[in-house]
Structure 1
Amino acid sequence: MAIKRPKVAIGFIVAGVLMVLFGTIMCFVVPLVIDDQIVKHTVIDPKNDLTYTMWKDIPVPFFMSVYFFNVLNPAEILKGEKPMVEQRGPYVYRKQCQKENITFHPNGTVSYREYRQYHFEPSMSAGNESDVVTIPNMLVLGASVMMENLPYVLRLMMSATFKTFKEGPFLTKPVGELMWGYDSGLVDFLNKYLPGMIPTSGKFGLFSEFNNSNTGLFTVFTGKDDIRKVHRVDSWNGLTELPYWRTAQSNMINGTAGQMWPPFMTKESTLPFYSPDACRSMELVYQRPGEMYGIPLYRYVAPKTLFANGTDYAPNEGFCPCRQSGLLNVSSCRHSDCIPIVYPQLSSFSCLQPILTFYQSHMSGNLYIFVVYLQQTGVPLNVSIRLQLNLYMKKVSGITETGKISDVVMPMIWFEENGYIDGPIVNTFRTNLVVLPTLLEYLQYILIGLGLATIIVAAVVYHKVKVKLPHRIQASMLSCLTARCILLLWFFFSSLH
């Protein structure tokens, strides 16, 4: 039976129009569908298996590497000679964080406490926790500098107290005790007769208050009613603002708990977060774009003004009494009227928080922070902090423990804490946020291109019918077009696979 050639051509024209129309619709619909899926899976909801598990029990390995500056000539330092130190370490600890007491509320918020633990990793360390090192005694040398302007009699009494409890200017102890605490008669005495002077009720150590502890009761928005509010802190320990600082702005609880942020942020966005360890809100700022495992990312860093004093950066005036820029005095929130605490701090993904609280007044440090952030979902994929802490020491008359120490900034330790997502989680992100959107984007343009080509060829064939082009030639042209469409589609999907 003879083929009705004009109808065949018209049929191909219609098919081409449909392909162009479908491809055009995809240009508008696909981004909306992808964004809708991101919103759906970003909400804090137990039904979202992957994101909820990441939020509740962080599956990413985080490690803290600690390096000690071992003092080689403590006796000579007391005579006024220049300190000599050697670096010891790293002593590496694996950090684990887990949310417990999770409670969802009718107003679209969820409450929880997050617990953290540190486990020594011998295979990754250049030593053992039993290694003995010598560092300055913060209780003695820090308190001495703070008391240099007090009456001479009080300084003599303090020196006598040090001698009574056998506290010298330097500590020589195993790494494990310096890290996680050692028994101190002086600490017990202060806690008994001067409660609140130092923020520790048991053993005294650099990290003793942070292992097997929690960061307080957080209540954050789930994002169910407004995805722009997901992870944002609603209250902390029942507080919607802090009582510690001098201005309302400084006392604000802003941003998230420092682990995840809302999706769809831009380069103009910042990453605000509240850190209970630093007793304040902070924010990171955009630095540059990047890529990790084929996933486009944004890199955020701490601004230079983060710990600037009120003189160098007026908005920080509320955090005063200020010290030199780069330091934060958190004695007002650590219930210490006598010993100011200097606390450089970052809170970020996987409850990444520097866990050093220093109880002396003259502490300085060099801080380096960055967060590599997946802007589409609000999930940081790579986080790192590096911090060196130094103690200011000097001779204080009346306190014989300080000897003839020359004014010197003494390096004590430096550490870095980092973690990144890899393995199946990264593959899931790459598939859902890179591969599939790219595939759909290519497909929509291929449909538009093939549709236009079909329309053009079919129109030519239809026109040739009027000049009585042989049927075989028409059929050959249409068959060739169809074959090319099929071949292009096959080649496209094969290359993706």
Structure 2
Amino acid sequence: MLGKHSKLFFTVSICALIVSIVITTWGFPKIIKRQVQKNVQIDNSSVMFEKWRKLPMPLTFKVYIFNVTNPDEVIDGEKPKLAEIGPYVYKEYREKTILGYGENDTVQYMLKKSFVFDAQASGTLTENDELTVINLTYMGVLLTVNTMMPAIVGAVNEALGSFFGNLTYPFMQIKVKDLLFDGTYLNCDSESSALSLVCGTLRVKRPTTMRPSDDGKGYYFSMFDHWNTSIGPYEMVRGTENVNELGHIVSYKGKRTMKEWGDPYCGQINGSDASIFPPIDESNVPERLYNFEPDICRSLFVSLVGKRSIFNMTAYYYELPESALASKSANRDNKCFCKKNWSGSHDGCLLMGVLNLMPCQSAPAILSLPHFYLGSEEILEYIYDGVSPDSKKHKSFIYLDPVTGVVIKGAQRIQFNIELRNMPTVPQLEKVRTGIFPLLWFDESAEIPVSIQEELKHSHMLLSYVNTIRWVILVVAVAATIAGAIAVARSGVIPACAPHNSVSFLMHPAHAATLDINKH
């Protein structure tokens, strides 16, 4: 009777072990993954949806401006001396307007940014501060004309006097608020044929930094006012069908590739809008995370550095690497971002750490990392004083929660520059040194507030409990199986445990009996 019960217990424990193995290795992970997907997918019922639609806290937008302390000497051929002034701090609010849902599990939306000056965080700095900076519009017009019709550069330079209000000079004094958001007026109401050419070109290919005046007789130039409007539409994967595709930008303004670079590889739209990423599969951690940036008409990537601890949580840490803005010789994948004749001494492919935005912005602005971090030494040699790259201050990075894909902390740091080029037909430029001249850089950063930190920690705690439970179930099943095996062995049901010799263990009992008779 005991043997019968032992066999039953052993059979049940074996079945329980098989079931627990299936549950532990397949069932629980699938349930957990599905529950995480329900919480992070872009759906009205998800925990993440409202946080994605309207950012629960403002980003911090800091601007640092390069004040030129020796403009007249630069005109005479000396190296620039710069003084970095900042940060001018703004609160950046983000909100999305959903336009609809499309095929292939996508959502279409517009992104609205709003910037509010933070006087307290800016300290003694105010938007009314007046600084001397490189005149990006002046140099942009002359560089563009020089590329199209170099013979008329001199005539255009003379006509720019009325365009800028009697100013033809590669530097300008300007209030911070006018440079960043309010704008400085550019007058197109003139009889000059050269100026008509410039203004006509602006009407056809107007940079995003220019907005038409209300009377239609001119434009206002500012660096960031176009960010104070809705941009898009974006089309993004919602992650309800495949959570690994969550956040992937499928198209922007109806375009699935960016034609500006004239190359399908460089025109790829990769990654997210940096507001959401898919959860990380610990067995297949991505080496790169891509972020699509409409203002530069391309995607940038950050590379995996490793696991880090932040706010008492474990996160994956990514940084923008040198290869992202590397020259063609260092990263051949970047060759299609090169454009000839953008520089007096280079073809756009030779300098590390810069990107010519002319194809994207219809203006010869040059993007780099702050203080030319990870850039060519040649760029740094052009500046006499005021530029000093520092990894801690100037790198771009992301800390990503592996469970939810939430950005725990991140910073995007970008600098805008323009070439100051020697032009013999322009009196103001006939002695200047040719080189890349910095205007300003911004630090767009965020970290999740304490309330969301606690939510994440609570989620991680629950997940750890679930993981503990599934291993406890497996351990109990293994223990029960071992106990059942021992009980069966002790009951004598298994022949191996009976007091017979090795031959009787291998052979049928009848055969064993025959052998015993033959011995007598």
TM-score interval w.r.t. the shorter chain? 0.7 to 0.9
Name 2:352's counterpart in structure 1.
Answer: 325
Name 1:249's counterpart in structure 2.
Answer: 265
Is the CA contact 1:15–1:451 (under 8 Å) kept in the aligned structure 2?
no
Name 2:179's counterpart in structure 1.
Answer: 178
Q: CA deviation at 1:62?
A: 0.8
Q: 1:423 and 1:19, CA in 2 relative to 1: closer, same or farther beyond 3 A?
A: farther
Q: 1:16 and 1:392, CA in 2 relative to 1: closer, same or farther beyond 3 A?
A: same
Q: How does 1:94-109 map to 2 (within 5 A)?
A: 94-105=91-102, 107-109=104-106
* Equivalent AA in structure 2 for residue 320 of structure 1: C
DSSP-derived class of the 1:436 partner:
helix
Is the CA contact 1:365–1:388 (under 8 Å) kept in the aligned structure 2?
no
Q: Distance in 1 between matches of 2:42 and 2:151?
A: 59
* Equivalent AA in structure 1 for residue 211 of structure 2: S
* Equivalent AA in structure 2 for residue 98 of structure 1: E
Name 2:62's counterpart in structure 1.
Answer: 65
Q: Deviations over 1:132-168 (max 9, x none)?
A: 1111212224444566688775232122113334223
Name 1:132's counterpart in structure 2.
Answer: 130
Name 1:209's counterpart in structure 2.
Answer: 226
Q: Distance in 1 between matches of 2:453 and 2:107?
A: 27
* Equivalent AA in structure 2 for residue 296 of structure 1: T
The TM-score with structure 2 as length reference comes to 0.72
Q: CA deviation at 1:391?
A: 4.1
Q: 1:259 and 1:455, CA in 2 relative to 1: closer, same or farther beyond 3 A?
A: closer
Name 2:513's counterpart in structure 1.
Answer: none
Q: Distance in 1 between matches of 2:184 and 2:82?
A: 26
DSSP-derived class of the 1:375 partner:
coil
Q: Distance in 2 between matches of 1:385 and 1:378?
A: 18
Is the CA contact 2:368–2:417 (under 8 Å) kept in the aligned structure 1?
no
Q: Deviations over 1:300-336 (max 9, x none)?
A: 22232222343432222333326133222333343x3
Q: Distance in 2 between matches of 1:181 and 1:102?
A: 29
> Highest relative contact order (Cα 8 Å, sep 6+), 1 or 2?
1
Is the CA contact 1:217–1:236 (under 8 Å) kept in the aligned structure 2?
yes
Q: CA deviation at 1:112?
A: 0.7
Tell me if 1:376 matches 2:403: yes
Q: CA deviation at 1:280?
A: 2.1
For structure 2, the residue ranges without an aligned partner over 5 or more in a row are: 190-194, 213-219, 341-347, 371-381, 491-520
* Equivalent AA in structure 2 for residue 418 of structure 1: S
DSSP-derived class of the 1:277 partner:
helix
Name 2:156's counterpart in structure 1.
Answer: 158
Is the CA contact 1:21–1:448 (under 8 Å) kept in the aligned structure 2?
no
Q: Specify which of 41, 52, 75 is matched with residue 72 of structure 2.
A: 75
Q: 1:428 and 1:173, CA in 2 relative to 1: closer, same or farther beyond 3 A?
A: same
DSSP-derived class of the 1:110 partner:
strand
Name 1:93's counterpart in structure 2.
Answer: 90
Q: CA deviation at 1:287?
A: 1.7
Q: CA deviation at 1:342?
A: 2.7
Q: CA deviation at 1:461?
A: 12
Q: 1:385 and 1:365, CA in 2 relative to 1: closer, same or farther beyond 3 A?
A: farther
Q: Distance in 1 between matches of 2:473 and 2:242?
A: 35
Q: CA deviation at 1:13?
A: 11
Q: CA deviation at 1:446?
A: 5.1
The TM-score with structure 1 as length reference comes to 0.75
Tell me if 1:414 matches 2:441: yes
The structure in which a higher percent of residues are helix is 2
Q: Distance in 2 between matches of 1:16 and 1:104?
A: 50
Name 1:491's counterpart in structure 2.
Answer: none
Q: CA RMSD in A?
A: 4.0
- The aligned length equals 442
Q: Distance in 2 between matches of 1:376 and 1:225?
A: 18
Is the CA contact 2:61–2:444 (under 8 Å) kept in the aligned structure 1?
yes
Q: Distance in 1 between matches of 2:258 and 2:417?
A: 29
* Equivalent AA in structure 2 for residue 201 of structure 1: R
Q: Distance in 2 between matches of 1:277 and 1:154?
A: 30
For structure 1, the residue ranges without an aligned partner over 5 or more in a row are: 1-5, 347-361, 465-497
Q: Distance in 1 between matches of 2:483 and 2:184?
A: 88
DSSP-derived class of the 1:372 partner:
strand
* Equivalent AA in structure 1 for residue 166 of structure 2: K
Q: Deviations over 1:393-416 (max 9, x none)?
A: 344222123363344554432321
Q: How does 1:59-458 map to 2 (within 5 A)?
A: 59-105=56-102, 107-126=104-123, 127-144=125-142, 154-164=152-162, 165-167=165-167, 168-186=169-187, 192-194=199-201, 195-199=203-207, 200-202=210-212, 203-210=220-227, 212-265=228-281, 266-321=284-339, 323=348, 324-334=351-361, 336=362, 339-344=363-368, 368-402=395-429, 404-407=431-434, 409-432=436-459, 434-445=460-471
Whose Rg is larger?
A: 2
Is the CA contact 2:98–2:107 (under 8 Å) kept in the aligned structure 1?
no
Q: Deviations over 1:172-204 (max 9, x none)?
A: 121111111433235676674222354123310
Deviates further, 363-372 or 294-303: 363-372
Is the CA contact 2:369–2:395 (under 8 Å) kept in the aligned structure 1?
no
Q: Percent of aligned pairs with the same residue?
A: 22
Q: Deviations over 1:264-296 (max 9, x none)?
A: 343344323432211123333212111222322
Q: Deviations over 1:215-265 (max 9, x none)?
A: 311122222233233222232222223322332222332333332222234
